[in-house]
Amino acid sequence: MSKRIPKISIHPSLWIFALLSFLSGQFSSFFLLFFYICLHEIGHVLAAWLLGWKIEKVALLPFGGQMQARGILDREILEEAVVTLSGPFVNVLIIAILSTFFQDWSGFQESIKMNLQLLVFNLLPIWPLDGGRLVYLFAASFLPFKKANLWVCRISLFGIALLFLMILQQSFQLQWVLLLGYTLFCCLDHLKNLPVIEQQFFLERWKSDQGRGKMIPEIVKQELTVKDLVKKLKKGKRQTFILTWNGNIRKLNDTEIAMIYFRLPPS
C-alpha cells in the first residue's frame, strides 16, 4: 500500500465559484459546500489507499474532485468501481447521519440539499463524473479498452447536450453552465488524448503481473496482425488468443501480445 501523501490542489473553477458566492452574499454556504466536497473526495482517496493505489494528486472541483493515480488503466473493473462509488457513498452516509442526529441544526436543510446535489450531479452518466466512470466500467466489462472509452465519451456528449437544452428551457443558471462546460472540456480532452492513453494501457498490460486474474480464451478465426490483436485487449481481464500464426495454430496471452507490439518497428 502506498503511504505517500498525494499533492492536493484547488482547480481554478472552484475559485470562480468562490468569487460568485462572495458576490452573491453566499460565502458561508460556499464554505459548507467545500467541506462536503472534501469529505466526498476523502471517500475516494481512502478506498484507493486501502486497495494499494499510488495516488499522485487530488484536485478539488466544485462538484467533487479528480484523483490522479499511477497504473490504474488496467486495474480490475470491480476494484475501480469500489473506488468510484466510495465518494457518493460518503454523501449518502452524511445524509443518513444528519437525518438521524442533526435535524435541529440550523444548517440541516441546506446540508441535506448540498449533499443530494453532489450525489445526483456526480452520478450523472457524464465523463469525468463518477456516473460517467461507472458507465465506462460497465462498457469495459465487455468491450475492448478503446471502444469502451469511445462509448462513454459519446454518451457523455449526448448527456451534456441534453442538459444544456434543459438549462436553456428553464431559468438560466451560470453555475450549471460552468459545470457542464467543464465536463465538455474534459470529455473532448479525453477523446483527444485517447491514442496516448491507449498506449499507456498497452504498456501497463505488458508490465502487469502475469498471474493476476483468470485467463479468458478467445478464438480468433481470421489471421490478424499483432496491432489488431492488441486493440482487442480489455481492461482488467487476462486474455488468451487462439489464432492462426504463419499457417499454424498458436496461443498467445495478452502480456505476450503487448510485449511483441512494443518491440515492433515503428510503422
pLDDT in tens, 11-22: 777 777 777 777
pLDDT of residue 4: 63
Question: Which segment, 84-98, 161-175, 234-248, is predicted with the most confidence on average?
Answer: 84-98
| CB-count exposure of residue 192 (10 Å: 0-12, 13-18, 19+) | exposed
Residue 92 vs residue 4, higher pLDDT: 92
Distance (Å, whole) CA 140 – CA 19 = 39
Q: What is the pLDDT of residue 170?
A: 76
pLDDT of residue 27: 66
> Per-residue pLDDT averaged across 181-191, rounded?
92
**Grid cell 467541506 — which residue?**
35
Distance from C-alpha of 65 to C-alpha of 59, rounded to nearest angstrom: 5
**Digit-coded pLDDT (tens) for 193-244:** 999 999 999 999 888 754 456 677 777 766 677 788 888 999 988 888 887 7
In angstroms, rounded to a whole number, what is the distance separating the alpha carbons of residues 100 and 84?
A: 26
The winner for highest mean pLDDT among 101-105, 174-178, 256-260 is 101-105
Per-residue pLDDT, 267: 53
The Cα 267–Cα 262 span in angstroms is: 12
Structure confidence at residue 190 (pLDDT): 95
Lowest-confidence pick of 12-21, 126-135, 178-187: 12-21
Average model confidence (pLDDT) across the chain: 85
Give the per-residue pLDDT at 216.
72
Does residue 58 have a pLDDT over 90?
Answer: no
Instruction: Give the residue among 229, 207, 230, 209 at the shortest CA–CA distance from 220.
Output: 229
pLDDT band at 172 (very low <50, low <70, confident <90, very high): low
Return d(Cα 113, Cα 50) in angstroms, integer. 30
Q: Which of 41-50, 62-71, 156-165 has the lowest mean pLDDT?
A: 62-71
Residues 80-96 have a mean pLDDT of: 96
- The angle that helices 27-50 and 108-122 make with each other, rounded to 10 degrees, is 50
pLDDT, average across residues 59-81? 85
Please compute the mean of the pLDDT values over residues 135-161 and round it to a whole number.
Answer: 96
* CB within 8 Å of 205: residues ≥ 6 apart: 74, 233, 254, 255, 258
Kindly state the average pLDDT of the residues 80-99: 96
Q: And the C-alpha cell for 186? A: 474534459
Alpha-carbon distance of 136 to 119, in angstroms, equals 18
Cβ distance 37 to 63 under 8 Å? yes
Could you give the percent of the chain with pLDDT greater than 70?
A: 87
One-letter amino acid at 17 equals F
Q: How confident is the model at residue 189 (pLDDT cuts 50, 70, 90)?
A: very high
Residue type, 216: I
Q: What is the pLDDT of residue 1?
A: 47
